Amino acid sequence: MRRRRFLSLPLLLPALARAAPTAVPASPPADAAGSAAISFPAVRRGVALSFPRDHGAHPDFRTEWWYVTGALDSPRADIGFQLTFFRSRPGTAEGLQSPLAARQILFAHAALTVPGDRLRHGERAARAGLGAGFSEFDCDVHIGAWRIARENRGAGEGFRLRMQSPQFSYDFTLTPSQPLLLQGDGGYSRKGHGPELASYYFSWPQLQVDGVLVLDGKRQRASGRAWFDHEWSTAILGAAAVGWDWIGINLDDGGALMAFRMRDVQGATLFAHAAWRDAAGRVRQFDAANVSFTPLRNWPSPRSGARYPVQLEIRLGGLALRTRPVLDDQELSTSRPLPVVYWEGLVHLEGSLKGRGYLEMTGYAGRLQM
CA–CA separation, 137 and 57 (whole Å): 7
Which pLDDT does position 37 carry in this prediction?
A: 66
Nearest to 160 by CA among 132, 180, 185, 140: 140
How buried is 44 (Cβ within 10 angstroms: 0-12 exposed, 13-18 middle, 19+ buried)? middle
CA–CA separation, 197 and 201 (whole Å): 13
Count of Cβ atoms closer than 10 Å to residue 237 Cβ: 23
CATH architecture assigned to 14-42+52-361: Beta Barrel (2.40)
Task: Spell out, as residue ranges, where the chain has pLDDT lower than 70.
Answer: 1-37, 236, 336-338, 367-370
Which pLDDT does position 1 carry in this prediction?
A: 42
**pLDDT, tens only, 46-101:** 999 999 999 999 999 999 999 999 999 999 999 999 999 999 998 887 778 777 77
Cα end-to-end span (Å), the chain: 15
Which residues are within 8 A (CB) of 350 and not within 5 positions of it... i.e. 6 or more apart? 321, 322, 323, 324
Q: Is the dihedral of CA 284, 290, 296, 299 positive or negative?
A: positive
Which pLDDT does position 2 carry in this prediction?
A: 42
Which pLDDT does position 348 carry in this prediction?
A: 98
Which pLDDT does position 236 carry in this prediction?
A: 67
Structural contact between residues 288 and 296, judged by C-beta atoms closer than 8 angstroms: no
CA–CA separation, 89 and 27 (whole Å): 11
Which pLDDT does position 369 carry in this prediction?
A: 62
Q: How far is CA 363 from CA 26, 108, 341, 349, 370, in A?
A: 23, 20, 8, 22, 11
Nearest to 200 by CA among 192, 190, 208: 190
CA–CA separation, 346 and 69 (whole Å): 8
Angle at 269 between CA 42 and CA 239, to 5 degrees: 45
Q: What is the pTM of this model?
A: 0.88
Q: Domain-by-domain residue ranges, the chain? A: 14-42+52-361
